[in-house]
Chains A and B, each alone.
Chain A
Amino acid sequence: MAISEDKVAHVAGLAKLAFSKEELQKFTGQMDEIINMVQQLSDIDTTGVKVTTHITDSINTMREDVAVKGTERELLMKNVPEHQDGFIKVPAIIDENEEA
């Protein structure tokens, strides 16, 4: 195996995803196959080869610094799942079961 269930669980934590035990098993198997497939890249000698992370030829794109009207607050709230008095509502940031 190129990747363990523990490692997949760790990655799921980083990605803010939760899996059941069965799902974790399934994903570990699938991730393992994909990782085996992509590992063929290690056969290629890339010594001194630059990375390509984008393909635009522009370096810095500048614009005039002028004030423009922003979006109406009411409109911005249109797709917010829960809001009150113009603010986005979220559950307690500190776990209710934890000691303050």
Chain B
Amino acid sequence: MDYFANDLTSLHDLLVKKEISATDLTKETLAVINEREQKVDAFLSVDEEGALKQAAEVDKTGIDADNVLSGIPLGIKDNIVTKGLRTTAASKILEKFDPIYDATVIEKLKSAKAITIGKTNMDEFAMGGSTENSAFKLTKNAWDQTKVPGGSSGGSAAAVAAGEVIASLGSDTGGSIRQPASFNGIVGVKPTYGRVSRYGLIAFASSLDQIGPFTRTVKDNALLLNAISGADTRDFTSSKHEVPDFTKGIDSGVKGMRIAVPKEYLGEGVADDIKKAVKNAISVFEKLGAKVDEVSLPHSKYGVPVYYIIASSEASSNLQRFDGIRYGHRAQDVKNLEDVYVKSRSEGFGDEVKRRIMLGTFSLSAGTYDAFFKKAAQVRTLICQDFAHVFGKYDLILGPTTPTTAFGIGEDIKDPVTMYMNDILTIPVNLAGLPGMSLPAGYSKGLPVGLQLIANQFDETTMYRAGYAFEQATEFHKQIPMIGGQN
């Protein structure tokens, strides 16, 4: 199946008209994955047997004509638990973990008759921005296999960009959906905090984590978010806000839309080719009838330190559960219970995870709590207030997703300002619980550039409407990486 020549709607038509069966679609998808994995290594595991079984079941009961995901194979980030299908969060500590239940999003996809075809690579416990922190393998960028796919959801992004699947799920704690979407030239959305249930998402930082979709088009993204959103009694932070049809009015344009561009998002550390693409995007929106103004988010520059303290503190608490007793790696050659804890954790966690557990434990410990955790939680309030102020006057915020295009595998970023800016554009959105999207807005030296759109809480509809208008007015999303067999 050529996923570059199709979208969810056209695939659904083929399935409904029985021009292709779910089994054939799954077989063709497995064949493409088999071929392209040699170049991108996006998957940690491909569930050939399980996927074909699910597809046979869909063919037996029939494609659901009202359900666009019916019979569609999807990739799932490996920190989302799947019943009976190995889920490792790319960590040695969960190397042999076979969940006994499905995450809520997986239940929803299964009831929509979607097919889970495999689990995608990521930074261990979603900590990182290049997928190089995986304990198991290196995933490559779909556009250039010497570059990182971004992270932490690098496998989910590369799989869609390489045309291995039409869509996938990732998770975003500080940019882990939007940044890899940007690096791979696809559409990635972090929904409003609480829009999607976190039940069955292996927790990193519970006040920031959200599951969201990767797709090649804006409308496909809205369709997938439709399927996974909604309140869940098993996640009390999931919201009871009404879930609209995110595709409704998606084509109604941006005439009169008030768009804010924070001056901090186009400042020092953002590469010229990125600025150029964003400025071009601004002129596209203006031509489409939107009103674009420069604004300020004065506390956004503190987003990185606030994030490091809050996310690490929550992680240090969440990751206490990995103690070698009930599940996960248990160290051998131990003399007592304390040994089980310390050795299992020290052997099972990678360095980046240990660093964050250490920083979090330090930030929460007696004597440092006030100066670190409490201070960061106060500055978080100021960051939220900055956004609230802007959304009092504007419908949407626009800026780059990342300060540079994808960097090289194994390449350390030497310039500290760039390193600092790497996360600064995505992190504030998580701190304030807002929805954010990255979509293709240009290419520089053959690598994709991402445009970030940020909406007010629970206003994904505005974000999708603007993204769709931009996509329809431009050709960036039509470019295909060499791995797709053409360019």
Contact = CB atoms under 8 A, between A and B. Distances in A.
Interface of A: 3, 7-8, 11-12, 14-19, 27, 30-31, 34-35, 37-42, 44, 46, 49-58, 61, 63, 71, 75-76, 78-82, 88, 90-97
B111 interface: no
Contact of A81 (B308, B330, B349, B372): B330
Nearest to B354: A17
Nearest to A80: B326
Contacts of B374: 51
A12 B357 CA distance: 9
Contact of B327 (A15, A42, A80): A80
A23 to B, nearest CB: 9
Contact of B339 (A7, A52, A91): A91
Interface residues of B, number: 66
B337 A15 contact: no
A8 B432 contact: no
B355 interface: yes
Given A18-B346, A56-B239, A79 B340 contact: no
Given A52-B377, A54-B207, A97-B335, A16 B237 contact: no
Interface in B282-316: 299, 302, 304-306, 308-309, 316
Contact of B342 (A16, A54, A90, A92): A16
B472 interface: no
A41 B305 contact: yes
A40 B355 contact: no
B5 interface: no
A27 B358 contact: yes
Given A44-B379, A44-B382, A88 B358 contact: no
B240 interface: yes
Nearest to B364: A14
16 contacts: A14-B361, A27-B358, A35-B359, A38-B376, A40-B302, A41-B376, A44-B299, A49-B379, A50-B378, A55-B193, A56-B193, A56-B239, A88-B325, A91-B334, A91-B336, A91-B337
Contact of A78 (B98, B354, B365): B98
A53 B306 CA distance: 12
A30 B355 contact: yes
Contacts of B375: 41-42, 44, 46
A17 B355 contact: no
Given A46-B378, A51-B377, A15 B357 contact: yes
B254 to A, nearest CB: 27
Contact of B337 (A7, A46, A90, A97): A90
Nearest to B374: A51
Contact of A50 (B358, B376, B381): B381
A94 B335 CA distance: 9
Given A8-B358, A79-B326, A41 B379 contact: yes
Interface in B259-284: none
Contacts of A38: 305, 308-309, 372, 376
Given A31-B355, A41-B376, A94-B336, A17 B346 contact: yes
